């Protein structure tokens, strides 16, 4: 029986176990989105993961609207990533860079007053944090077809910079209601051109961006994250099974290294949706390694692997608060509590690199 502790090959990457670290925004970069040294310590602490998927990392200023989140579109950002990745490698880990364009979720405060772009002229619900405080989302403008080649160039530039920085691969963030997801979902894609309408048209941009990343890295070092069930930042879909099996088949044809799916369960700890998982429909369509995410702990993760629902599991908040999560799972040790706190998104060590390892917890208990 396959277990969490078994190694797995995902494309060109040999992972020592099937406990991946999910991408987690932590806001420890500078205001100019340059990674900082503390990020190296944070990721190196978690190098016991079979594979680390980095926090979402902006491909351009147009695509990044989160304060203190990292980017990888210029030389300063790329150079600052190098020591972070080196620390992970020195600790025996593997790390890939998740490439991010937020689309309509970017507030004009980040864009010198310009409107954000999206598939269509829609507005995300609620508000967002900027350097100037909370701001309501604004209506996005539709991305013009003439702008798509430039967008593809931005993704390629970020992928090339990720290679220069020393990452082991890249992941396309096509989930959670951000730009690619805004094109995929019928609720946010109201276009009538070749990028709108049918599911095949709505996943067109997903395919074009993925192929551009493959040109840089090869298909065996490119992965994609999708979130096929439920609402994400106000983005929804009328026919999720049709839409996301179409997307999965496209990615299978391209031959990516693995596909990660974020699927929060109904009444879950960290998310809530009334839409059942779509992964059972995706599993027969996508033949490569499938990684599931959201609300997994040891028992249900073990069950998912045993029942062949997934090939690996990515853990998010449990890895945030338990840097040695694989060792805790292996020994059956108690986990550090998942303490929802503002320090998760502050700029210091508290709530970031100060979570105790198992031996530290034992010393305190003694």
CA dihedral over 67, 157, 152, 255, signed as positive or negative:
negative
- Exactly one of 178, 195, 296, 355 is catalytic; which is it? 178
Contact residues for 342 (Cβ-Cβ < 8 A; gap 6+)? 351
Long-range contacts of 144-147 (CB under 8 A, 24+ apart): 145/193, 145/194, 145/195, 147/117
Q: Are 202 and 243 in contact (CB under 8 A)?
A: yes
**Rounded Cα gap, residues 279 and 295, in angstroms:** 15
- Match 């596909």 to its residue by tokens: 259
DSSP code, position 232: B
Catalytic residue list contains 43: no
CA dihedral 354, 356, 360, 362 (to 10 degrees): 150
Q: Which of 30, 55, 66 minimizes the C-alpha distance to 320? A: 55
* 179, 102 Cβ separation under 8 angstroms: yes
Residue listed under structure tokens 């994400």: 232
Q: Which residues are catalytic?
A: 178
């Amino acid at each position: 029986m396959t277990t969490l502790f078994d190694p797995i090959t995902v494309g060109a990457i040999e992972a020592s176990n099937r406990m991946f670290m999910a991408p987690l925004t932590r806001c420890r970069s500078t205001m100019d989105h340059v990674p900082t040294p503390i990020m190296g310590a944070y990721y190196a602490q978690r190098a016991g993961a079979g594979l680390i998927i980095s926090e979402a990392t902006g491909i351009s200023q147009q695509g990044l609207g989160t304060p203190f989140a990292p980017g990888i579109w210029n030389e300063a950002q790329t150079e600052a990533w190098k020591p972070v990745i080196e620390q992970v490698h020195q600790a025996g880990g593997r790390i890939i860079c998740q490439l991010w364009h937020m689309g309509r979720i970017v507030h004009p405060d980040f864009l010198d007053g310009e409107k954000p772009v999206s598939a269509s002229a829609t507005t995300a619900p609620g508000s967002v944090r900027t350097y100037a405080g909370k701001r309501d989302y604004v209506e996005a403008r539709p991305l013009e077809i003439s702008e798509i080649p430039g967008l593809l160039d931005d993704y390629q530039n970020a992928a090339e910079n990720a290679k220069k920085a020393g990452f082991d691969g890249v992941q396309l963030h096509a989930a959670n209601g951000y730009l690619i997801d805004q094109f995929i979902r019928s609720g946010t894609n109201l276009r009538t051109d070749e990028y709108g309408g049918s599911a095949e048209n709505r996943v067109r941009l997903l395919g074009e961006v993925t192929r551009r990343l493959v040109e840089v890295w090869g298909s065996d070092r490119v992965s994609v994250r999708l979130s096929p069930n439920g609402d994400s930042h106000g983005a929804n879909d009328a026919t999720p099974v049709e839409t996301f099996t179409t997307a999965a088949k496209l990615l299978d044809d391209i031959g990516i290294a693995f596909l990660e799916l974020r699927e929060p369960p109904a009444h879950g700890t960290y998310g809530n949706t009334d839409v059942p998982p779509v992964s059972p429909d995706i599993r027969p369509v996508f033949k490569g390694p499938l990684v599931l995410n959201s609300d997994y702990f040891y028992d249900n993760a073990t069950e998912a692997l045993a029942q062949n629902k997934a090939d690996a599991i990515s853990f998010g908040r449990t890895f945030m608060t338990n840097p040695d999560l694989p060792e805790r799972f292996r020994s059956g040790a108690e986990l550090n509590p998942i303490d929802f706190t503002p320090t998760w998104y502050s700029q210091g060590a508290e709530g970031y690199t100060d979570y105790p390892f198992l031996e530290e917890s034992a010393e305190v208990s003694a």
